[in-house]
Amino acid sequence: MSRKVLVLPGDGIGPEIVAQAERVLNVVNEKFGLGVEVEQGLVGGAAIDVHGKPLPEVTLEQAKACDAVLLGAVGGPKWDGVDMAIRPEKGLLGLRSNLNLFGNLRPAILYPQLADASSLKPELVAGLDLLIVRELTGGIYFGQPRGIRTLENGEREGYNTYVYSESEVRRIGRQAFEAAQKRGGKLCSVDKANVLEATVLWREVMNELAKDYPDVELSHMYVDNAAMQLVRAPKQFDVMVTGNMFGDILSDCAAMLTGSIGMLPSASLDENGKGMYEPIHGSAPDIAGKGIANPLATILSVAMMLRYSLNAAEAAQAIEDAVGVVLDQGYRTADINSEGMNLVSTEQMGDAVLAALS
């Protein structure tokens, strides 16, 4: 069976990290006989430069026609002045919404070899394995009305709308409950129900859903407390489910528990298992072109792609194991480096993972 993967390297460090992830994909493709065909496309600033917009029709068509998308990152100072309507992020948000990728899984797992790179004391993070389930196609990111308007007194006002329908909450809730069932059986729903009506409804729907999942222990937490608890005692969490913006913020926060944002992969899924896979970090303009970015989050995103969209769990496991091996061997990119370790470039880290795979 042939399976098509669209690769969208994007901007900044995107092409550097995706190059390593693609090498890994090619090797497991051969080794496990997966029949994956890779196609290249443009998104973000790279697409603006060629097509004048961050999500050209051709890219969207490619994305719709493939089984899974592997994305690097988009955006950067070069395109920051571009009119809001065509900002690079629109490319990414457009892809997510057009493909209906509402369920964003962001696992934060501490590799034991990186305990000393974590922002927290080793005893607080030893064995950390939590999953943030972030709603990805609704909430304040997409709510209408939105914009910047001029008031009668001549002052300008920016406004956005935080909105969730019951059905949007229900489908992400189900995904989170099911994830919790397969893991430790604990789900913490994060909201701001003491202030925002949209999240009062969110909480109600989560409580209704809980009746269908008696084997999952549901709790609720306000987002400000959740941010504090994540850095105080992160191991209290198994699965967290939350809206688009809170999930964005909490997942960057969770990244540092594992040592670096360069370690966190993600899967963005529709109802049918089609997905887009990307590291949770951005295009890192401050280190782009230097060959020092950590490619492991992107490589681990390939593993998630194999597991969730390409039905190749064995190949996924091989990649995850290989990452463990290179860390055992002491290979570290700058963001996770510590004394006595073997500091390597982006490409050398890719080499090490390939060596561990073979």
Ligand X SMILES: CC(C)[C@H](C(=O)O)[C@@H](O)C(=O)O
Ligand Y SMILES: NC(=O)c1ccc[n+]([C@@H]2O[C@H](COP(=O)([O-])OP(=O)(O)OC[C@H]3O[C@@H](n4cnc5c(N)ncnc54)[C@H](O)[C@@H]3O)[C@@H](O)[C@H]2O)c1
Q: Which entry of ligand Y, Mg ion, ligand X, none binds 285, CB below 5 to 8 A by partner kind? A: ligand Y
Cα–Cα distance between 266 and 298 in angstroms, integer? 9
What character string, x for contact with ligand X (CB under 6 A) and - otherwise, covers 232-251?
----------------x---
Q: How many residues bind ligand Y (CB under 6 A)?
A: 22
| Contact between 310 and ligand X per CB under 6 A | no
Sign of CA dihedral 150, 153, 158, 160: negative
Examine the residue annotation and report whether 141 is marked as an active-site residue of this protein: yes
- Residues 217-256 touching Mg ion, rule: CB under 5 A, are 248
Q: Are 324 and 336 in contact (CB under 8 A)?
A: no
Examine the residue annotation and report whether 64 is marked as an active-site residue of this protein: no
| Contact between 54 and ligand Y per CB under 6 A | no
| Nearest distance in Å: CB 251, Mg ion | 7
- Residues 271-330 touching ligand Y, rule: CB under 6 A, are 278, 281-287, 293-294, 297
Q: Please, what is the end-to-end C-alpha distance for the chain in angstroms?
A: 24
Q: What are phi and psi of 303, to 5 degrees?
A: -60, -45
| Contact between 92 and ligand X per CB under 6 A | yes
Catalytic residue among 141, 277, 308, 331: 141
Alpha-carbon distance values, 225 to 202, 232, 243, 252 (Å): 17, 10, 15, 16
| Nearest distance in Å: CB 279, ligand X | 9
| Contact between 320 and ligand X per CB under 6 A | no
Q: DSSP character for 178?
A: H
Query: What DSSP line would sit under 14-51, residue for residue?
Result: HHHHHHHHHHHHHHHHHHHT--EEEEE---THHHHHHH
Indicate the length of the chain as a whole number: 358
Q: Which residues have a catalytic role annotated? A: 141, 192, 224, 248, 252
List of residues contacting ligand Y (CB under 6 A) = 13, 17, 73-76, 89, 92, 261-262, 278, 281-287, 293-294, 297, 335
Q: Point out which residues bind ligand X (CB under 6 A).
A: 75, 89, 92-93, 248, 280, 282
